Amino acid sequence: MNMNRSDNPQLPHEISQLLARLRRWMYAYVWTQGLATLVVVLGIAFWLGLLVDWSFEPSAPIRIGLLIALAILAGLLVYRKVVLRSVRQPANKSLALLVERRYADFQDSLITSVELASIPETTNAHREMFTETNRKAVAHLAEVRLRELFNLKPLLRVALLAGLVVVSIGMFGLLATNALGFYLQRLRLSEQLWPRYTRLIVDGFPKNESGQRIVKIAKGRSLEVAIKADNSLPIPPPKRVEVRYQFDHQGSGRADVRRIGNATIGVDAYQQYAYTFQDVFESLQFDVVGGDDRVRSLRIQVVDSPKIIGMTIDCQYPPYMDKLARNLPVTGAMQIPQGAQLRLVGISNKALTAVRIHHSEEAQPRILDLSDQGATEFAFEIARLDSSRDLLIHLTDIDGIDTLEPYRLALSAISDEAPQVDVQLAGIGVAITPQAKLPVRGHLKDDYGIAQARFAYRTASNAPSSHIRFNPNAGGETEFEVEQALDVQALGLQPSQKFIFQVEAVDRCQLGPAPNVGVSRRFVLDVVTPEELRASLERRELLLRKRFEAIYQAMQEARDGLAQIDLAITTPDSNHHSRLRLQISRSLQDAERVGHETMAVAREFEAIRAELINNRLDTEEVKSRLKQGISDPLLEIGGPLTSTLKEHIEQLGSSLANQQQSLRHRQQSVAQADFILVEMKQVLNRMLELESFNEVLELMRGIIRDHADLKAQTQKQRKAQLRSLLED
């Protein structure tokens, strides 16, 4: 034998054949198990796909995606379970080790033979060992049963599952050929939906651009979902239908819908149902489930309702007001001058498509179409605000949402009021002579200016008025003082008539058929003869003299009360002190009363003097007697002289603690009272002189009346004598 030979020894044919058969068995196992697993996976995918397609009826793109995913999964499975395991050929050593583990009788002879066969021969000992191990290994080959080397249970299980899957699909094809055919059409991306025994329809959920069925509602509103089931199918509509909902953030639930009546087959096309989502504040998605049908992925999106967040009014005032246009913010009920032209501008929190404005003067609402603009601002005009209006403004936004409540805007039309006329007669009583003038004093006022001021007069209550215009101090003034006189001498008044007049102010308003006219109180005067008015005034003078005599007497009593105040007690007690204060207080009150009443008499004489002047009955002598002789001295007595007396009395009351000072102040008070009495006596004498003067005047008026009567009787007798001579 050549010891230097390096060739590998060859395994016996029997061992090589065993290992080759074992390898083929392994390939068969792998392929059978891999293909059975693929069948199981495809079968499960078949049934899951059928369930998903029947339940959800996904669109073609989704089905394409699912098929691609299934193809990828099947490819990965074949690659890992079959291809990858088939490419890796097991080595002889691994196969021999597998046999050795199962059959212990080999006693490592098989594994040793395989290992020695892979080592080149180098020595005779090596060949002898190789020959011996081959012999032992070949001796036990007859015991090897390849089937016992494999665990067939996993293979049988997966094969059984594959068989069940195939049988189930076959049975489904036999029992539901149409369904299988329809499913295969769906796998070929048919858009036709599955035929069902129940068909539910939910209206009012249009598809958006992405194909989602959605409806938008304002936050906090409720939404009633109308559901109907086809009543023409072989099986009646379901007794029970429910909604299953899921809020966007948290919370889900389900609820039965309300069945509306019972539809009659052949009469009613649909069975009606309804469900109300109450007070929805969060977006949600829901399904409607009933029978074997399901309407999926209906969405309720909650959005803010449109509302007005700001509004202004551009106000153009009527021209006669002479006011610049203003932009007024709306803060509630708006007071707008009548006749103004308005442009209302509103701002919304959302883009709008339409605005509806209702108000009482228009039967149909005014609609502003903003669909092309989608703006948050809107405007509308009122050509002329003639009366108050309540506007109701409804907004519709780009989501199709209307305002929860209409925006109410109250426009109160402020009418232009007539001018205010506040005037009084000055120096005129209730009677006038035909030649009198009637002074009026007061003020006129109007918000936007007075165009004309005038006297309106008539001589009977039902007679039309005549007007005498007098111009104000400045044309168009809003307020000014009035000091005017109406001269009635040229009006031809007759005694025994009634003269009625008032002051009128005409404004500049141009809104109505005529301007507004403001009027003063109505003055109603009796027209008398000069003699009648003089007699009336003389009677007033007589009454005033008697009234002043009473005031003079009260002043004497007040002077005596001051003189009787006893201040000589050296140690007065508290009762005496209280009596003194009571006497002083009474004296002070008497002085105040004398002063007030004297001033009132003075004003009455001034009024008599003014009436004489305004009725043109005055003479310089009468005016002088009334003013310098009576009214002015009375004003002096009732004013400064009485005020001085009160000061002395008050000083007396405050100096009771000092007997010397109090005696001095009492003396001053008595002296001042005596001085006032002297002045009052002088005025009384002048009143008597005036009365005597008036008596003389009355006597002269009597003589004149007697002369006039005698003249009239003489003329009457002469006419009688002439008539007698003519008759003879």
Give pLDDT tens digits for 571-624.
Answer: 556 777 788 888 888 989 999 999 999 999 999 999 999 999 999 988 887 788
Confidence of residue 6 (pLDDT cuts 50, 70, 90): very low
Which of 50-64, 269-283, 695-709 holds the top average pLDDT?
269-283
> Around Cβ 224, how many Cβ atoms within 10 Å?
11
pLDDT at 321 over 90: no
Sheet holding 352-358, edge to edge: 334-337, 407-414, 389-397, 352-358, 366-369
Confidence of residue 323 (pLDDT cuts 50, 70, 90): confident
**Segment among 98-102, 163-167, 391-395, 623-627 with least mean pLDDT:** 98-102
**The amino acid at 695:** E
Which one has a higher pLDDT value, 115 or 478?
A: 478
pLDDT at 117 over 80: no
- Predicted local confidence at residue 528, as pLDDT: 93
- Three-state SS at 347: strand
- Rounded to the nearest 10 degrees, how much is the dihedral formed by the CA atoms of 161, 166, 168, 173? 170
- Predicted local confidence at residue 84, as pLDDT: 64
DSSP, residue by residue, 642-686: HHHHHHHHHHHHHTTTSHHHHHHHHHHHHHHHHHHHHHHHHHHHH
Contact predicate 610/548, CB 8 Å: no
Q: How many CA atoms lie within 13 A of 148 on its CB side?
A: 8
- Predicted local confidence at residue 87, as pLDDT: 59
- Predicted local confidence at residue 150, as pLDDT: 61
Q: How many CA atoms lie within 13 A of 547 on its CB side?
A: 17
pLDDT at 462 over 90: no
Which one has a higher pLDDT value, 180 or 287?
A: 287
150 phi and psi angles, rounded to 5 deg: -115, 145
Give pLDDT tens digits for 405-446.
Answer: 888 988 898 998 999 999 999 999 999 999 999 999 999 999
- Predicted local confidence at residue 267, as pLDDT: 87
pLDDT at 685 over 60: yes
- Predicted local confidence at residue 5, as pLDDT: 44
Give pLDDT tens digits for 348-379.
Answer: 998 888 999 987 667 788 888 887 767 888 89
Domains of the chain: 13-186 (no CATH), 200-303 (2.60.40.10), 308-414 (2.60.40.10), 420-528 (2.60.40.2060), 531-714 (no CATH)
Stretch 239-262: mean pLDDT, rounded? 92
Max intra-chain CA distance, the chain: 225
pLDDT at 718 over 90: no
Which one has a higher pLDDT value, 254 or 690?
A: 254
366 phi and psi angles, rounded to 5 deg: -85, 130
- b/e code 307-319 from CB counts within 10 Å (16+ = b): ebeebbbbbbbbe
Which one has a higher pLDDT value, 575 or 100?
A: 575
Taking all residues of the chain, what is their mean pLDDT, rounded to a whole number?
82
- Predicted local confidence at residue 4, as pLDDT: 40
pLDDT at 91 over 80: no
Which one has a higher pLDDT value, 185 or 593?
A: 593
Work out whether the CA dihedral 324, 325, 329, 334 comes out positive or negative: positive
**Residue 142 structure tokens:** 């007859």
Contact predicate 349/305, CB 8 Å: no
pLDDT at 139 over 70: no
Q: Rounded CA gap, 102 and 25, in Å? A: 16
Do the strands 523-527 and 431-432 form a parallel or antiparallel pair, or are they unpaired? parallel
Confidence of residue 1 (pLDDT cuts 50, 70, 90): very low
pLDDT at 49 over 70: yes
Stretch 529-544: mean pLDDT, rounded? 89
Confidence of residue 486 (pLDDT cuts 50, 70, 90): very high
- Predicted local confidence at residue 115, as pLDDT: 62
pLDDT at 654 over 70: yes
pLDDT at 257 over 70: yes
**Segment among 175-179, 561-565, 672-676 with least mean pLDDT:** 175-179
204 phi and psi angles, rounded to 5 deg: 90, 10
Which one has a higher pLDDT value, 255 or 96?
A: 255
Percent of residues, the chain, with pLDDT higher than 90: 32
| DSSP state letter for 340 | -
Q: Rounded CA gap, 428 and 512, in Å? A: 37
Do the strands 431-432 and 407-414 form a parallel or antiparallel pair, or are they unpaired? unpaired
pLDDT at 722 over 90: no
pLDDT at 660 over 90: no
Give pLDDT tens digits for 213-235.
Answer: 999 999 989 999 999 999 888 88
Work out whether the CA dihedral 630, 634, 637, 639 comes out positive or negative: negative
pLDDT at 567 over 70: yes
Contact predicate 640/591, CB 8 Å: no
- Predicted local confidence at residue 451, as pLDDT: 86
- Predicted local confidence at residue 3, as pLDDT: 39
First-residue to last-residue Cα distance in the chain: 225
